[in-house]
Amino acid sequence: MNTDQIKNLPGAHHIIEGLRDLAANRHTIASCLVRIAQHRLARTGLIKKDDQKDEGAELDLYALLAQEGNQAYSRYNSLIRELVSFEHALDHLWSRSMAAK
């Protein structure tokens, strides 16, 4: 799977940006979202498989949001909900592509 295939999924703009940021070693909100979703992204081939769980990604995301202002909690929850929607849509797209093979 590639970024062209996911560009219309909900929240894909964060994931595509995060993939670029992670590749450039930038510590951003978007790269934290990619780190949180790394196992699903690896299963679909969007990132290289990494067997270690990135346990600090959620904390890093919250810390970055807190640096930007006083609504970190609501922004964090909103981004996580958007990420969950993206992951569900990605799973659906991936299962359809696997069934077609």
What's the domain range around 36? 3-99
pLDDT attached to residue 9 = 97
Q: pLDDT of the chain along its 101 residues, tens only? A: 899 999 999 999 999 999 999 999 999 999 999 999 999 999 999 998 775 567 899 999 999 999 998 899 999 999 999 999 999 999 999 999 888 87
Could you tell me the two tokens for 24? 């450039």
pLDDT attached to residue 48 = 85
Angle at 68 between CA 62 and CA 73, to 5 degrees: 40
**pTM for this one?**
0.92
Whether the CB-CB separation of 2 and 41 falls below 8 Å is answered with no
Q: Which among 18, 19, 88, 75 is positioned nearest to 47, based on CA atoms?
A: 19
Q: Which residues contact 5 (CB under 8 A, 6 or more apart)?
A: 93, 97
Q: Quick one: residue 11, left, alpha or beta (phi over 0 = left, psi -120 to 50 = alpha)?
A: left
Based on the structure, what is the number of domains in the chain?
1
